[in-house]
A = this chain, B = another copy of it.
Amino acid sequence: VLNLLRTLRKDNTGYDLKQLFIGAEGTLGVITAAALKLFPKPAERATAFVAVSDVRQATALLARLQEHTNGLLNAFELLARAGLDLVLTHIPGAKDPFTAPAPWYVLCEASGIKGVAAAFQAGLESALEDGIASDVVIAASEGQRASLWRLRETMSEAQKLEGPSLKHDISVPVSAAADFIDTAIAAVAARLPSARPVPFGHLGDGNLHFNFQMAPGANPESYLGHWDEVQQLVHDIVHEFGGSFSAEHGVGVMKRAALKRYKSAAEIDLMHVLKHALDPKTILNPGKLVPD
């Protein structure tokens, strides 16, 4: 039993053992407790839904707002128009914040010290003036904020109600996101022209749920039969852009083959060395994460 619950901001006494277990999916040990750090409640919060013409504009908007708020953005979520359409179709009460459609949207939020809302708004105004954003709605109440967030938070549910999807949980450097999306959508379109791209997610982190929806009326079994082929196509492009084939959801059983394909031999060797050193009898979550 290792007690690593120290609550110090600075400690340089030996190997940082705690980090070894975070993200190891229980293959090196079992985490039974955690110490949490609490922060003061933000004094202000501001939320906006922004229409942009393409993903390049969305990343330019991210830089503009980070500059204006000095890094106090706490959400920057990308939505494709095709995804918003699914939400408007399947989620009761969902409403388009704008009268005319746009190709892409960003739901963004800043919070912190008093004055952050004004700085956020000034950033949005300058983005409109410079043609980075084409339209902006700022939430004027908690109710409006909840309505805007609902468009993003019901996205997975709306996609499920529409039908099956080929899914990817990927990340790329933020600066490469626009090029990645263009390249990967074109590649999937060439392989499987009927697949409908509906990417969404945490563009501020470079992390996208890069999903492709089945065409209406197509055969689900035959569509999902393309899973491995499309996933490898997308992951190969992610890899070319210096990205990750699993940004949030780990490796488990499903992505062990991907780990073997994209990690270097040196990294896989070191994973084996660590697994063997800490779990020589292979009793900790066997068959997961570490390639055979």
Residues on A facing B (Cβ under 8 Å): 1-4, 6-17, 19-20, 22-24, 28, 39-40, 42-43, 66-67, 69-72, 112-116, 118-119, 171-174, 202, 205-207, 242-251, 255, 258-259, 262-264, 266-267, 270-271, 273-274, 276-278, 289-290
Contact = CB atoms under 8 A, between A and B. Distances in A.
A13 B255 contact: yes
A248 B8 CA distance: 12
Given A10-B207, A70-B114, A274-B277, 15 more contacts: A7-B242, A8-B171, A10-B247, A12-B23, A12-B250, A13-B250, A13-B255, A14-B271, A16-B23, A40-B70, A42-B70, A112-B113, A113-B115, A115-B119, A273-B278
Given A71-B39, A276-B277, A171 B16 contact: no
Contacts of A20: 15-16, 19-20, 274
**8 interchain residue pairs of minimum CB distance:** A115-B115, A19-B19, A277-B277, A11-B244, A70-B113, A10-B247, A9-B205, A70-B112
A8 B276 contact: no
Nearest to A172: B8
A235 to B, nearest CB: 11
Contacts of A270: 2, 15, 17, 278
7 contacts: A6-B242, A9-B205, A11-B171, A14-B263, A15-B20, A69-B113, A70-B114
A7 B55 CA distance: 20
Contacts of A255: 13
B289 A14 contact: yes
Contact of A10 (B2, B42, B69, B205): B205
Contact of A2 (B207, B267, B278): B267
Contacts of A28: 15
Contact of A15 (B14, B23, B118, B246): B23
A8 B250 contact: no
Contacts of A43: 70
A261 to B, nearest CB: 11
A247 B119 contact: no
A262 B13 CA distance: 10
Contact of A246 (B13, B115, B248): B13
Contacts of A273: 277-278
A247 to B, nearest CB: 4
A36 to B, nearest CB: 13
B263 A13 contact: yes
A19 to B, nearest CB: 4
Contact of A12 (B8, B71, B247): B247
A113 B113 CA distance: 8
Contacts of A39: 71
A279 B9 CA distance: 29
